[in-house]
Structure 1
Amino acid sequence: MSKTTSFSASLLAGAIASALASLTVPAAAQEMKMAQEEMEKMGAEMTAKGMEKCYGVALKGQNDCAAGPGTTCQATSTIDYQGDAWKFVGGGTCTTMELPGDRKGAPTELTRDLPS
């Protein structure tokens, strides 16, 4: 294969990769937006049912959303009682739930029990 043919093949492969990447980014962004809208709708429904968001109370993989950087959302917490992951609980029970190790839930993100 000549240098020109090799260069042309590399250039073509790069162009195809760029074109494919440009197609998947908007699709992924749209999918993420739809998931966020669905979660907001679910949140409104749960609030109407007397539920509240509570951080730091979900077991590994059982969070309802917000599991910190690098995660997508529901069922993505990586450790038990992860401080930046929340779960819906009965209204007024978040901070009074009895959890192991004298932990308490909170209505806002916690800095404890975060994955390393």
Structure 2
Amino acid sequence: MNKSAVAASILGAALSLSAAGLATSSSARADDQEKCFGVAKAGENACSGSSNAGMHSCAGHSTVDYSGKDWKLVPAGTCEKMGGKKEAFDGIGKPM
């Protein structure tokens, strides 16, 4: 095997391990968070609830602060403490 082939193999292995580590980190972060409706400021939402169809497509498109139809990820166990709900609702949330 020549030096180029060895270098390419090492680089490929390093990239594979790095990608695997990123996937694990993302999964771990996702497990520590939950969707919280009614706590996102306009333009800071992660996505819309299913009942928000037609108003906007998704992330960053909310035009209303604390809409009960839009959610963002928050640390697990903090949604209600922030004045939000885990399910979409009509009206506006009351963030603390």
Common fold by TM > 0.5: yes
Unaligned runs of 5+ in 2: 1-25
- Alignment match, 1:76: 61
Moved over 6 A (4+): none
Unaligned runs of 5+ in 1: 1-43, 98-103
1:6-28 residue CA offsets vs partner (Å, 9 max, x unmatched): xxxxxxxxxxxxxxxxxxxxxxx
- Considering only aligned residues, what root-mean-square deviation do their CA atoms show, in Å? 1.6
For 1:82 and 1:106, the matched residues in 2 are separated by: 11
For 2:61 and 2:76, the matched residues in 1 are separated by: 23
- Aligned residue pair count: 63
For 1:94 and 1:82, the matched residues in 2 are separated by: 14
For 2:41 and 2:85, the matched residues in 1 are separated by: 15
Identity of aligned residues (%): 38
1:17-70 residue CA offsets vs partner (Å, 9 max, x unmatched): xxxxxxxxxxxxxxxxxxxxxxxxxxx83432x010000000001000115122
- Alignment match, 1:51: 33
Mark the structure with the bigger radius of gyration: 1
| TM-score under structure 1 length normalisation | 0.50
| Larger relative contact order, structure 1 or 2 (CA cutoff 8 Å, min sep 6) | 2
For 1:76 and 1:47, the matched residues in 2 are separated by: 22
Q: Pick the aligned partner of 1:64 from 31, 41, 46.
A: 46
SS of residue paired to 1:86: strand
| TM-score under structure 2 length normalisation | 0.60
- Alignment match, 2:9: none
Higher helix share: 1
